Structure 1
Amino acid sequence: MECITWFAPILPGKLDEWKSLIEEVQGPRKEEHRRSRERMGLKREVVSHMPTPQGDFACLFHEAEDLSKSFQIAATSDDPHDQWFREKIQDIHGITPEMLQGPLPASLHFDYKAG
């Protein structure tokens, strides 16, 4: 199992739109989002908000058997929910589908596990 933590900037003036997106994928689009994550092979997804002096960031944790494959699916899926979500991510974070197809957005340097 692979896991990654990474940060995506919330572009200036987009914080309310980001909050609405989070509410939507936890509310009316919850089932569509769950199916999307299953298609991607994600076992876990955690999203947090981190305000900093440099601006707002989304803090993300993803876990899957093959994260590169998961991001590739997210970038290329023709499912209507996935297409809608990609548009939102590009508008709110500036992340394009091409950016998701390259190397993972972060590299692992330390992974402590108890036990």
Structure 2
Amino acid sequence: MKKFAYSFPILKDKVEEWLNFAREVNTTHREEFNKMHQRIGVKKESWFLQESAEGYSVVVYTEAEDEHFMNKFKKDQSGFSQWFREQVSELQDVDLDFTTQMPEIVLDWKEKEE
């Protein structure tokens, strides 16, 4: 399993709408979200809302079968995936089809198992 962490800004006047989007993904769209992750090979995903002096960001932690999950997501033309990308574009001003580049992992610590 490969691990990924990345962040995207949330537009300052869209934080409440973004929180509603997150709730909607986790409730009324949960089954579609699950199916999308199955299609692209994602096994776990967590979202964190981060506030800083620059504003708000969503920090995402993902565990996937391989490093190609984002390319699979970009190619997924299901109605849900298209809706999801549109929401992210509107709330975060991020085009997930073009501006996403996975960061390089530089530290991955784990407590030693005995």
Q: TM-score, normalised by structure 1?
A: 0.90
C-alpha distance in 2 between matches for 1:11 and 1:76: 26
Q: TM-score, normalised by structure 2?
A: 0.91
**Residue pairs, 1:13-92, within 5 angstroms:** 13-67=13-67, 69-92=68-91
User: Which amino acid letter does the alignment assign opposite residue 75 of structure 1?
Assistant: K
User: Which amino acid letter does the alignment assign opposite residue 109 of structure 1?
Assistant: V
Q: Mark the runs of 5 or more structure 1 residues left unpaired by the alignment.
A: none
Partner SS for 2:13: coil
C-alpha distance in 1 between matches for 2:77 and 2:20: 23
C-alpha distance in 2 between matches for 1:82 and 1:88: 10
- Displacement of 1:12 in angstroms is 1.9
- Displacement of 1:4 in angstroms is 1.1
C-alpha distance in 2 between matches for 1:18 and 1:25: 10
C-alpha distance in 2 between matches for 1:112 and 1:19: 30
Partner SS for 1:98: coil
For these two proteins, the number of residue pairs brought into alignment is 111
Q: Mark the runs of 5 or more structure 2 residues left unpaired by the alignment.
A: none
Q: Deviations over 1:25-75 (max 9, x none)?
A: 1111110111011111001100010111110010110111213x2101211
C-alpha distance in 2 between matches for 1:62 and 1:85: 16
